[in-house]
Amino acid sequence: MAKVFTLKGNGNIKEAQISDYGAAIMKLVVTGSDGKDRDVVLGFDSVEEYKTNPAFFGAVVGPIANRTAKARFTLNGFTYEMEEDVDEGINNLHTSRERGLHKTKFETSVADETSLSLSHRVEDMDDGFPGNRDIGVRYEIDGSILRIIYTLKTDRDTVFNPTNHSYFNLNGHDSGTIFGSKFFFNADSYTEVDAGQIPTGEFVPIEGSIYDYSKEKEFNSDSEPIDHNFRRKDNDSFGEAAYVYSPASGIKMTVSSDLPGLQVYTGKFIPQIGGKGGCTYGSFSGVALETQFFPNCLNEGVNNPDFKYPLVKAGEEFRSVTEYKFEI
């Protein structure tokens, strides 16, 4: 049976609820400038509802997040086939609708008041990927920071590109749309994509584009919807990727990572679906800020040095850190 763990904070983050099913963030309570506590992530009241979860609310996604062209990739001379996604034609999205990490029951290795360590053992090729792998997801509340640490150990060369797919609404998950929020992307460009949302290998400068949030700018009903991957400045080291600020709640959320890309999705196609407390979500109810390698990195990254390749060599350990910092 799946479990829900409650982590407590002593800064602007008051509480987080994490499920061992999908390693999903079910609740994240943050104090606004008005002193009011708000749950700022979209989601469901019960773990059972995460077993369908068509919008991937709150969950860890992988082993390979985002899109992979023609649902296949080649590693060490062998071609691996992935699932074609029902909404993506011949391409793959987030590895698998039913067998990805968001539909996985994790084991609990450490749980205390401020941290939770989850693990999952995958046998070689059980999910279509090479290697006997130990996957770890650790959540920590550190003052006003929610930190996620991803790890993987493998005995064969493999690939790994995890992310968290929480949707945030800093006015509260049940407050309506994210219109009126202000965005800033610490990025120089975004990945150009074809009609199937597969990167062409080129990068488009964000300055002067319809996605120019290189300076803080409001996202509203007249703004172009976003579902693009942005290249973080100075992406060879840990640093800021973006922030979102809500004038209504006074909450500013800064996302930092050691991964090169940030998929920003403003939720245009969030389905009409019942959420926590009897509310109904829909288009633009939340924004997802997914730290990751670039889309189609399994193919484009082989020969394109601008696309980092998510290879994990046998006997080595993958480790990546993402932080969400909440300030008022």
Mean pLDDT, residues 177-206 taken together: 97
* Residue of 165, 240, 300, 323 marked active site: 165
290 is catalytic: yes
pLDDT at 86: 85
| Integer Cα distance of 92 and 55 in angstroms | 15
Could you report the per-residue pLDDT of 156-176, keeping only the tens digit for each?
Answer: 999 999 999 999 999 999 999
DSSP state of 106: P
CATH number of residue 126's parent domain: 2.70.98.10
State the pLDDT at residue 82: 96
From 83, 290, 300, 323, active-site residue: 290
- Nearest Cα to Cα of residue 158 among 257, 262, 80, 71: 80
Please give the structure tokens belonging to residue 78. Answer: 């062998």
CB < 8 Å & 24+ apart, contacts of 315-318: 315/154, 315/155, 316/153, 316/154, 317/151, 317/152, 317/153, 318/150, 318/151, 318/152, 318/153, 318/160
Neighbouring residues of 225: CB distance < 8 A, sequence distance ≥ 6: 266, 268, 284
Report the domain count for the chain. Answer: 1
Question: What is residue 185's predicted lDDT score, i.e. its pLDDT?
Answer: 98
pLDDT digits (tens, 9 = 90+) for 6-22: 999 989 999 999 999 99
Percent above pLDDT 90 for the chain: 96
Taking only the tens place, the pLDDT of each residue in 256-310 is 999 999 999 999 999 999 999 999 999 999 999 999 999 999 999 999 999 999 9
Q: Do the strands 287-292 and 280-281 form a parallel or antiparallel pair, or are they unpaired? A: unpaired
Largest CA distance in the chain: 58
Q: What are phi and psi of 50, to 5 degrees?
A: -75, -10
Of 167, 165, 209, 218, the C-alpha closest to 187 is: 209
- Its pTM stands at 0.97
Domain that holds residue 276: 4-327
